[in-house]
């Protein structure tokens, strides 16, 4: 049988050939929890009577949403995860001492590898598909089941093949590719499907762009996003002590796809998603013409908080100053990214321009802390969602864009096209 990469990963895990639509019980290589979702999983785990994790080295907790704690409630929430981690001597527990946003930190640590089956109690767990793994979000009780048994049940998803063609133009990044796809198919256009990203464009994308691309697969309703491994992937992995031996799977020629979507980049502009859906994408030239003043610019998150994002922002704001009526927040996704950005001089450049640089946190993205929007404020953000009230007040507006658009807009004080910015 000719199989997709997703079908092959599940076949290898369950020990038999499977195809889309089948219900399978699969072992899981890495289970990921965070400070918001894990306490619910811990409660279910303990109420079940379980005394030890089925695969302790395949379970990680990353404290990334409200850490350092923003209030008493978040401190007590975090305490539950800490006590569990210490009780079980959890090897992969990441707190203030080694901070990072989970979907940036775990690849950096070599804890998610090609060929894995990965679940996390966070919808953007699909990020890890950039490494050629099947990775998806599940609920906290699903996480508990995996903690207890080492596996879980899955319906093997059908696959939509997305073929990107052409070399990306100036200031076109992985974020623009996924926003364009979501614009085309809508927020439910890939419901419970795997989005397999292919085409000659992929060879022009570094890992940061690939992580961004897979990260927002969920915003099209997809179960996962995935990119087959190539030399760029292997170079990314080369300097890491990997948790497992990688297994490289590739879709067969003639594999069964439920849909094929082709996107030519020759005429693609940077994309800006207007409120209040990621699918409400428009070319940046239109956004610039609409003269949209911005109160806040946010660069960070599991989508676009990587070193390349900080470099792009620093290059654009260098020698300039953030507009008087605009505030700019930059959140590196991990401590190592922050250190690398400091070493390269990017942090000094950003601060000199008037930006504030925070510790790694998901806080601003979900409207938790470190960047809450007030009534009727407008923000351009490199995050993944712009739902009503996502980053604060329900009357606020969020526009999603890449790091270049966001940085140029911080200087201009309104949404502008970075290709015409100097």
Query: What's 50's domain CATH number?
Result: 3.30.499.10
Considering the domain architecture, whether residues 248 and 280 belong to the same structural domain is answered as no
Q: Which helix (DSSP H) or strand (DSSP E) does residue 316 occupy?
A: helix 307-317
- Grade residue 112 by pLDDT with cuts at 50, 70 and 90: very high
Q: Under a CB-based contact definition with an 8 Å cutoff, are residues 91 and 57 in contact?
A: yes
Residues 25 and 118 in one domain: yes
Mean pLDDT value across residues 184-207: 96
C-alpha pair distances (Å), 8 with each of 155, 213, 222, 247, 295: 14, 22, 18, 10, 47
The answer to whether residues 120 and 33 touch, using CB atoms and an 8 Å cutoff, is yes
**pLDDT tens digit string along 132-158?**
999 999 999 999 999 999 999 999 999
161 token code pair: 């093949």
Yes or no: say if 296 and 198 are a contact pair by the CB < 8 Å rule: no
CA contacts within 13 A on the Cβ side of 354: 19
Which residues constitute the domain of residue 383?
A: 271-420
**285 and 162 fall within a common domain:** no
CA distance 378 to 118: 36
Q: Are residues 283 and 241 in the same domain?
A: no
Cα gap 319→268, rounded to integer Å: 29
CA 119 to chain centre: 14
How many domains, the chain?
2
pLDDT at position 421: 77
User: 111 and 138 share a domain?
Assistant: yes
Q: Is the pLDDT of residue 422 over 80?
A: no
Quick one: which of 331, 62, 24 has its CA closest to 157? 24
- The pair of structure tokens assigned to 75 is 């401190």
Q: Reduced to 3 states, what is the DSSP secondary structure of residue 175?
A: helix
Percentage of the chain beyond pLDDT 90 is 96
Looking at 222, 244, 263, which one is the last position of a domain? 263
Give the end of a domain, one of 263, 294, 317. Answer: 263
pLDDT digits (tens, 9 = 90+) for 360-393: 999 888 998 899 999 999 999 999 999 999 999 9
DSSP-derived pairing of the beta strands 281-283 and 271-273: antiparallel
Last residue of a domain, one of 263, 291, 326: 263
Average pLDDT, the chain: 96
> Do 245 and 320 sit in the same domain of this protein?
no
235 and 353 co-located in one domain: no
Contacts of residues 234-239 at CB distance under 8 Å and 24 or more positions apart, as own/partner, are 236/107, 236/131, 236/207, 237/110, 237/113, 237/114, 237/131
Query: Taking 80 as the threshold, does the pLDDT of residue 182 lie above it?
Result: yes
Are 293 and 185 members of one domain? no
Distance CA 397, CA 130 (A): 30
Return d(Cα 127, Cα 21) in angstroms, integer: 23
298 and 227 in one domain?
no
- The answer to whether residues 181 and 59 belong to one domain is yes
Do 238 and 359 fall into the same domain?
no
Using alpha carbons, list the distances in angstroms from residue 36 to 73, 104, 171, 281, 385.
11, 17, 34, 30, 18
Do 256 and 381 have their domain in common?
A: no
Find the DSSP H helices in 25-114: 38-47, 72-87, 102-109
């Amino acid at each position: 049988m000719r199989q997709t990469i997703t079908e092959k990963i599940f076949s290898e895990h369950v020990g038999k050939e499977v195809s889309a639509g089948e219900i399978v019980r699969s072992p899981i290589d890495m289970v990921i929890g965070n400070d918001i979702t894990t306490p619910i999983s811990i409660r279910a785990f303990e109420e079940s009577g379980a005394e030890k994790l089925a695969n302790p080295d395949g379970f990680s907790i990353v404290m990334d949403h409200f850490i350092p704690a923003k209030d008493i409630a978040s401190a007590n929430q975090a305490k539950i995860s800490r006590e569990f981690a210490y009780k079980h001597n959890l090897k992969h527990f990441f707190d203030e001492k080694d901070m990072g946003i989970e979907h940036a930190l775990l690849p950096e640590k070599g804890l998610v590898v090609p060929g894995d089956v990965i679940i996390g109690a966070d919808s953007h767990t699909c990020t890890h598909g950039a490494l050629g793994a099947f990775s998806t979000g599940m609920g906290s009780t699903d996480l508990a089941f995996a903690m207890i048994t080492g596996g879980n049940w899955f319906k093997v998803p059908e696959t939509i093949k997305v073929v990107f063609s052409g070399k990306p133009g100036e200031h076109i990044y992985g974020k623009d590719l996924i926003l364009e796809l979501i614009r085309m198919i809508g927020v439910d256009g890939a419901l419970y499907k795997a989005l397999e990203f292919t085409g000659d464009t992929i060879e022009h994308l570094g890992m940061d762009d690939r992580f961004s691309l897979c990260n927002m697969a969920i915003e099209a309703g997809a179960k996962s996003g995935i990119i087959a491994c190539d030399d760029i992937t292997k170079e990314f992995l080369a300097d890491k002590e990997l948790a497992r031996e990688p297994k490289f799977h590739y879709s067969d020629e003639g594999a069964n796809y439920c849909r094929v979507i082709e996107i030519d980049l020759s005429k693609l502009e940077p994309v800006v998603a207007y409120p209040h859906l990621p699918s409400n994408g428009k070319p940046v030239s239109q956004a610039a013409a609409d003269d949209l003043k911005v109160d806040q610019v946010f660069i960070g998150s599991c989508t676009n908080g990587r070193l390349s994002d900080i470099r792009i922002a620093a290059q654009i704001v260098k020698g300039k100053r953030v507009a008087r009526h605009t505030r700019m927040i930059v959140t590196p996704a991990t401590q190592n990214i922050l250190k690398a950005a400091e070493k390269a001089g990017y942090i000094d450049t950003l601060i000199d321009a008037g930006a504030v640089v925070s510790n790694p946190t998901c806080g601003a993205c979900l409207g938790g802390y470190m960047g809450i929007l007030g009534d009727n404020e407008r923000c351009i953000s490199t995050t993944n969602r712009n739902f009503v009230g996502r980053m604060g007040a329900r009357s606020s507006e969020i526009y999603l864009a890449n790091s270049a658009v966001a940085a140029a807009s911080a200087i201009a004080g309104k949404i502008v096209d970075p290709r015409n910015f100097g």
